[in-house]
Amino acid sequence: MTSGFTSNDLLRYVYGETSVEETLSIECSLNSNWNLKEQLEELNSSVNILDKFKLRSPSDSSIEMIMRYNNKARAEELETSF
Partner 1 sequence: MRLKMVRDRELVKMYVSGNDKALAELIRRHKDRVYTQIYLFVKDDILAEDLFQDTFIKVIETLRRGKYYEDGKFLPWVLRIAYNLCIDHYRKVKRTPTITNNDGYDIFKVLKFSEDNAEQTMVKTETCTKVRNLIDQLPQEQREVVILRHYAELSFKEISQITNVSINTALGRMRYALINMRKLITEKQIVI
Q: How far is the CB of 33 from partner 1 (least distance, A)?
A: 19
Residue of 50, 79, 80, 81 that binds partner 1 (CB under 8 A)? 50
Q: Is 59 in the site for partner 1 (CB under 8 A)?
A: yes
Residue of 31, 58, 80, 81 that binds partner 1 (CB under 8 A)? 58
CA 81 from centroid of its chain's CA atoms: 43
Q: Is 28 in the site for partner 1 (CB under 8 A)?
A: no
CB 18 within 8 Å of CB 26: yes
Residue of 1, 28, 47, 75 that binds partner 1 (CB under 8 A)? 47
Tell me the backbone φ, ψ of residue 57, rounded to 5 degrees: -110, 145
Nearest in space to 23 (alpha carbons), one of 37, 13, 35, 11: 13
63, HSE (Cβ side, Cα atoms, 13 Å): 4
Residue of 19, 20, 77, 82 that binds partner 1 (CB under 8 A)? 77
